[in-house]
């Protein structure tokens, strides 16, 4: 990701002027099945709402994002809540994900297809991977994200490598987005 992209994300978070909200509905739907100890990675997690949710479960969480502004907000929220959270400024598209093993990897609303090939080396045996991303069909109702950031309809099953699929869905969510969602284990 170019420096211009990093600055664009920093500016977007500066303009928002808000901290992390509640964890995603998708993550909350699976939280009872996820471990309460171990290491977790939130890839491109922005303000850290999902990372903080995992930290509240007792996981040792690393939040990775290209935006320094988002990471600073996530770190401040973690301190205010008395949670441990490692915030790592990282362009995963340039250097890949941090080394594992991780017991949980979450990647929501971020599409970098090479991540799927890296997952077997990042996840611990039995580790969980949760992924959600809008598909091209989402454009029939929403202008954003643009097509270059969307999965093709039906593409997600072909991206999964070296993992056992627990659940794979594609359709309109309660929030009105057309998403492909995956829960898999190593």
**Burial (0-12, 13-18, 19+ Cβ within 10 Å), 147:** exposed
Write out the residue range of the structural domain in which residue 62 sits. 3-185
Q: Which two tokens stand for residue 15?
A: 């303009």
pTM of the full structure:
0.93
Given this model, what pLDDT does residue 16 score? 84
Domains held by the chain: number: 1
Domain containing residue 15: CATH number: 3.40.50.150
Instruction: Read off the pLDDT of residues 138-184 as tens digits, 9 standing for 90 and up.
Output: 999 998 888 888 999 999 999 999 999 999 999 999 889 999 999 99
Instruction: Read off the pLDDT of residues 86-145 as tens digits, 9 standing for 90 and up.
Output: 999 999 999 999 999 999 999 999 999 999 999 999 999 999 999 999 999 999 999 888
Q: Which two tokens stand for residue 99?
A: 């080394």
Given this model, what pLDDT does residue 2 score? 67
């Amino acid at each position: 990701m170019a420096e211009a992209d990093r600055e664009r994300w920093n500016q977007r978070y500066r303009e928002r002027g808000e901290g992390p909200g509640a964890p995603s509905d998708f993550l909350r739907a699976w939280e009872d099945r996820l471990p309460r100890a171990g290491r977790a990675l939130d890839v491109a997690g922005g303000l850290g709402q999902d990372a903080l949710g995992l930290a509240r479960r007792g996981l040792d969480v690393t939040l990775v994002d290209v935006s320094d502004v988002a990471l600073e907000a996530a770190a401040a929220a973690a301190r205010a809540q008395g949670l441990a959270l490692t915030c790592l400024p990282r362009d995963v598209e340039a250097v890949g994900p941090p080394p594992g093993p991780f017991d949980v990897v979450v990647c929501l609303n971020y599409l970098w297809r090479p991540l799927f090939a890296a997952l077997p080396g990042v996840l611990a045996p039995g580790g969980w991977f949760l992924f959600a991303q809008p598909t091209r069909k989402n454009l029939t109702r929403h202008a954003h994200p643009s097509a270059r950031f969307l999965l093709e309809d039906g593409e997600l099953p072909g991206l999964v490598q070296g993992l056992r699929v627990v659940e794979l869905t594609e359709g309109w969510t309660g929030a009105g987005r057309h998403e492909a969602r995956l829960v898999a284990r190593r």
